[in-house]
Each structure stands twice: as structure tokens, then as C-alpha cells.
Structure 1
């Protein structure tokens, strides 16, 4: 591979992790929001139980509650996944834990409850949801507090490079990742923005949009020692692509082996 003009700065601002630190990430399949389907809701205790039973790693999403806790839920609004409406973050953890996920008896779990359920049986990757107009520190701190004393393999990741930077400063022992998509931003400007995000986050790994693989940016980071995970692997064809261009798939549906 031809050396990128960004390579020297990549090495300086986002050095690769010690291989032993991230060895557990590779060669593993991760269940995207747990092992869910038309019956088992995403990010539910049942979805996580299904992944654990199959020995799959788990990827889940977290948001901050009104009382500063970390809740496992993907959407900014409650409408798609529950019979309630309105902003997810406007509710307390106690209120959210009373909500059932549509089409099931599964309740929305806090990160504390998910950690108790997983209990180190399989690796766990926590995607921290953020918005550019919000500070990331309250949710990062809530996640860190929930993880205190947790012994299983785990990592945090986010599209927002501020999350990686926060953990690099306040919890450098926590493995951290940068989530990347090139959708709608594939030109020179996009390339520069991806490198700027990389330098700010200083991640231990990247989680790449499978639609963008193969990617020169992803390949360059992988070559210099950052594991590449890829999402969302939802078909057999995408699974084959992931096997060539990434170290581990984050999969759902027909993409699960």
C-alpha cells in the first residue's frame, strides 16, 4: 500500500495500541444490539441472552437518562421501540426501566443491569450515543461509573471523537473505538475529516461501515495495528466482505453465522 501523506501524523497523534490490549477484539462475531429478530427486540435482555448462549460478543447502545445514568437504548425518541413518545433522555432510569419494548414483555435495561447479565461471559462493546450540541462528559462519566469493578472484556466506541478523547484522559485503561462511515463524505474533505477525528479520538480500534469497505482509510489503520470491526453485517455477501477487509463483524439477521 502506498504511504498516505497523513501517515506520519496518524502515528504521532493516534499511535496503535499494544497488541495484547486489543487482541480479544479480533476473530470474534458481535451481535448488533444483541441477537434480535422479529420476536426478540433489539437491545433487550432476551437479545443479550441469545448472544451469550451462542458465545457471541455483544454490541449495545447507551444514552444518558434525565438523572444522569446510562440506559441501553438506541433511539433518541421512544416512539419506534415502545408505546410511549418523546425524548428518551427526558426520563429517569426508573421510568425507562418500567417501559416494555414493543411486541414483547422485555423491559428497557440500564447499563448496570446489562453488565450484571453479561458478567464477563462474552465481550461487550458499548456504543455511546451523542449529539454535537451536547457535552459528552456526563454520559461518559455515567458509563465509567457503571463499568467500575467490571472484569469482563469490554470497550466503548462512538461516532463522536470527543468520546474517545474523554476516555483517553479520564479512563485510559478502557479500550476505546471510533465509529466511522464515509456515507455522503467520500471526497478529499471527507478524508481530512476522518483523519482529524482519528487524531482527536486516538482510538484503540475503529468500527467501520461495511458499505464503505474496502476503504483506503480503514486498510491503512488496520495495517498499522488498529483492529477494524465492521457494521452492520446483515447478509451473507456482507459477511464475506467483512472476512476479507475487517477483523470482526458486528452482525444481525442473515449476517450472523
Structure 2
């Protein structure tokens, strides 16, 4: 059974990477939620995709140069707050697993520490998380910090590169763009024991084609289409 993974929550329905979008994804019965993290100027992990707040909010500036209190004053789509990663974890609360994409720099260690806190203090397990990134350096740091955290290598250009990184990192999964998949590279990934979760698949014809392959999860803005 291919798992339904909400992209930045349920981005097709509610503004991305907001608590409201994560709740919508849960309401649609997802198996997992993908979200993005940066470290802001005051040190907290915040859930946000871009490196600047310009596209998504009524403010301007680089996210790592703004404090949490400054970020909390901004509005996404005139309505929603930028959440912290802790707020996202508390809302999702083990109702599905969470794919934390390390988007910003220096995100590996604080993400590891927060995951460890939820595992040691709040009854979560490492199976509740996957940590992914396009940045190998952040994945290297994650692996060096904690070998129990499940890693996924993201790729927009090459499944072969994703597999190479996965081998080096002893990763759990590869997360390639769906257009890169072939019978051969799926077979290679499966032979090596990796899960395959693909992004970002929104059109019914693409979903049907992918579901004919032996993959594990589909990341979509419209998880109810899966």
C-alpha cells in the first residue's frame, strides 16, 4: 500500500507549512506529513520553506536574520502564523509520521535534539520521524549526531546521486522527484533495501502511473487524491 504524505501539510488546500495545513492533512487521513525547517535569529526551529519571508508573508527579509518574535508578527496569506517545529510536533502528536526536511543551514543538530526530546520525554519513537535534505552536509551532521534517526536523501536531478548518498549515510529512504523514476533505478533502490518516497505528485494520471510501480510513498499537495 503506497503511503499518503502531505506536502507541507495539505498545500493544495491550506497555506503551506502552517498548523492549519497540517491539521487539514490529518483530516484527509495522511500517513505522513512533510515539512521544512530553518533556524531563526533567536535560535528556534521554525517551519518554513523559503530562505526569505517575502513570497509567503506580509514581511520581508531572510528567515535566519529574524527572531521568533519578529516572525510571529508576520502573517501567511493574511491569516496564519509561522509555526515552530515544536508546535508542529505537538499538533501532529503521533497521528502520522513526520518528514522533517532540513532546508536551512545549521538545522541538523537542533532538529536531532528536538527529536531526541520527543523520544525520551514524550513517548515518541524514532519511527515517527524521517529527516531528509538536499544538503549532504546537514545529513552528515544528523548521522554523526544520532545513528538512530532515519535519513532520506532528496534529489531533483539524479536517482543515482540519491543512492550514492544513501549508501554513504546508511539512509532509510530516497526521496527523488517523481519524473526521475525508471524501472531500473527503482529495482536498484529496492535491491539495496531503501524505501522510495517521491515528490511532488498532484495529477491523477501521474499518481496512477506511479502507483503501478513498487514505491512506498507519494508526497502530494492534495493527499486525498492518493
TM category, shorter: 0.7 to 0.9
| Counterpart residue number, 1:231 | 199
Q: Distance in 1 between matches of 2:9 and 2:84?
A: 14
The structure with more radius of gyration:
1
1:88-124 deviation line (CA, Å, top 9, x unaligned): 1111122212221024x21000101001111111111
| Counterpart residue number, 1:65 | 40
Matched ranges for 1:23-172 at <5 A: 27-37=2-12, 40-56=14-30, 57-103=32-78, 105-130=79-104, 136=105, 138-147=106-115, 148-150=117-119, 151=124, 153-172=128-147
Return the offset for 1:216.
Answer: 3.5
Q: Distance in 2 between matches of 1:200 and 1:224?
A: 12
1:249 paired residue among 202, 210, 218: 218
Q: Check conservation: 1:238, 1:255, Cα contact below 8 A.
A: no
**Change in 2 beyond 3 A, CA 1:215/1:63:** farther
1:111-170 deviation line (CA, Å, top 9, x unaligned): 01001111111111111114xxxxx5x311111222212415111100112222222221
Structure 2 stretches of 5 or more lacking a match?
none
**Change in 2 beyond 3 A, CA 1:109/1:172:** same
Aligned-partner SS, 1:62: strand
Give the RMSD, CA atoms, in angstroms: 2.1
Aligned-partner SS, 1:63: strand
Q: Distance in 2 between matches of 1:194 and 1:254?
A: 24
Q: Distance in 2 between matches of 1:167 and 1:215?
A: 31
Q: Distance in 2 between matches of 1:79 and 1:140?
A: 24
| Counterpart residue number, 1:178 | 153
Q: Check conservation: 1:97, 1:110, Cα contact below 8 A.
A: no
Q: Distance in 1 between matches of 2:89 and 2:219?
A: 19
Q: Check conservation: 1:239, 1:255, Cα contact below 8 A.
A: no
| Counterpart residue number, 1:14 | none
TM-score by length of 2: 0.87
TM-score by length of 1: 0.77
2:177 paired residue among 183, 186, 209: 209
Aligned-partner SS, 2:107: helix
